[in-house]
Amino acid sequence: MHVAVVTGPGAVELRNEPIPRLGPEDVLIEVGTCGLCTMERRLFDGTKPIYPVAPGHEAGGRVIEVGQAVASLPGSPQIGDLVTVDLLTRCGTCRMCRRGRSALCKRPQGGTLSDGTISMGAGLAEVVRVAAAQTYCVGEIPVEHAAMGEPLACVVHSARLSGFRPGDRVAVVGAGYMGRLHLALCRAWGASCAGMVDVDEQRRAEASAAGADWVAGPDGLTGWLGQHDVVFVTAGTPGAVELALDLCDDAGAVVLYGAFAKDVMASVGADRIHHHELSIIGAFSQEPEDWRTAAGLLQSGALAADLDRLVTARYGLADVADALALTVERPVYRVMVGQEAERMSGSSRTSRER
């Protein structure tokens, strides 16, 4: 089989890799498409210099083989099922895993290919082996929606940690892909008002078209300050934490979802946090509980229109270099790579929104 390996900044190649042998509790997935996220972009542009590496962790596809222990087991994915897959490696035995916080598993993540190349999911491939327990059936939906299971599970995790409840007033700082997923989820779950903050005028317009109740730039928030129960920060920029706190009403929660540069500090008044019972929460990755919710949302179709809007372009696996280059060249939501993505495009690529 072919698997994409990033070998250096701006360099990617397709390598031949033996088809993985299944253990008794594994399933083999024919990858229909795999989304490129910020990690893949950073590997390709050189800001995350880990080489060689086989990336790709937002995959969806169909089961083509199942291990003996899960064959015909009720509830386990079976041959022909369309699935979304959790490619995170959790040890299950460290303190964080035992506390039910496996997103913070203490064991280093990832694995290796047959030649020792580091694997960070290796979903940019023709097939991938996954434990059946980390494979979720999603019914008959577009495969690119199935590939959005991982980022959606991360957003479910974020909302769960926030304490979000139907009727809450929500603001999202950052109208990129993850910000838009936060918007879609909170609207589907009954937010009474959900708005978005972004510096980019076009992204604000696209968020408004996607159902945001209000959009604004960071300097145009006068009417929205102190009006929100939950604020999600999906763009980790200097000043974002302070801005999010300003958007909060009493007892508000700020969720730091987006990654920040290591040297970014925030100035937070301790007495303000105390007297107004504000919360600042970190949200990182996802856990099995979040996957179950995300898979159910995907199968229900409740977010289908929102997910359709977030596909920027589609490429075949043979054109993975062009797909990665696109993520570096201009702002995108999700670029999809795989045989099903190529088939759906009708050629090697299709652009929709930015």
- CA 239/CA 246 separation, integer angstroms: 11
Residues 6+ apart with CB under 8 A from 109: 88, 89, 120
CB 324: neighbour CB atoms within 10 A? 26
Q: What are the tokens at 114?
A: 């047959």
- Choose among 334, 303, 312, 329: nearest CA to 57: 334
Give me Rg for the CA atoms of the chain.
20
Give the burial class of 137: count Cβ atoms within 10 A of its Cβ; 0-12 exposed, 13-18 middle, 19 or more buried. middle
Instruction: Give me 56's structure tokens.
Output: 């790709």
CB atoms within 10 A of CB 223: 8
Angstrom distance (rounded) from CA 36 to CA 48? 14
Strand partners, 336: 35, 314
* In the chain, domain spans: 2-148+310-345, 155-282
Work out the burial of residue 278: count CB atoms within 10 Å of its CB; fewer than 13 is exposed, 13-18 middle, 19 or more buried.
Answer: buried
pLDDT of residue 223: 92
Q: What is the pLDDT along the chain (354 residues), one digit of tens a residue?
A: 999 999 999 999 999 999 999 999 999 999 999 999 999 999 999 999 999 999 999 999 999 999 999 998 999 999 999 999 999 889 999 999 999 999 999 998 889 999 999 999 999 999 999 999 999 999 999 999 999 999 999 999 999 999 999 999 999 999 999 999 999 999 999 999 999 999 999 999 999 999 999 999 999 999 999 999 999 999 999 999 999 999 999 999 999 999 999 999 999 999 999 999 999 999 999 999 999 999 999 999 999 999 999 999 999 999 999 999 999 999 999 999 998 877 776 644 444 444
First to last CA, the chain: 32
Between the CA atoms of 147, 67, 80 and 345, what dihedral angle is there, to the nearest 10 degrees? 30
d(CA 325, CA 280): 36
Q: Which residue in the block uniquely carries the two structure tokens 């980390």?
A: 134
The 3-class SS string of the chain reads CEEEEEEECCEEEEEECCCCCCCCCEEEEEEEEEEECHHHHHHHHCCCCCCCEECCCEEEEEEEEECCCCCCCCCCCCCCCEEEECCCCCCCCCHHHHCCCHHHCCCCCCEECCCCCEECCCCCECEEEEEHHHEEECCCCCHHHHCCHHHHHHHHHHHHHHCCCCCCEEEEECCCHHHHHHHHHHHHCCCCEEEEECCCHHHHHHHHHCCCCEEECCCCCHHHCCCEEEEEECCECCCHHHHHHHHEEEEEEEEECCCECCCCCCCCCHHHHHHCCCEEEECCCCCHHHHHHHHHHHHHCCCHHHHHHCEEEEECHHHHHHHHHHHHHCCCCEEEECHHHHHHHCCCCCCCCC
Spatial distance between the Cα atoms of 319 and 22, rounded to a whole number of angstroms: 28
Q: Which residues pair with 196 in a beta bridge?
A: 172, 215
How far is residue 29 CA from its own chain's centroid?
A: 19
Q: Are 335 and 312 in contact (CB under 8 A)?
A: yes
CATH of domain 2-148+310-345: 3.90.180.10
- The structure tokens listed for 312 are 């920027």
pLDDT of the residue at 346: 62
The CATH fold of domain 155-282 = Rossmann fold (3.40.50)
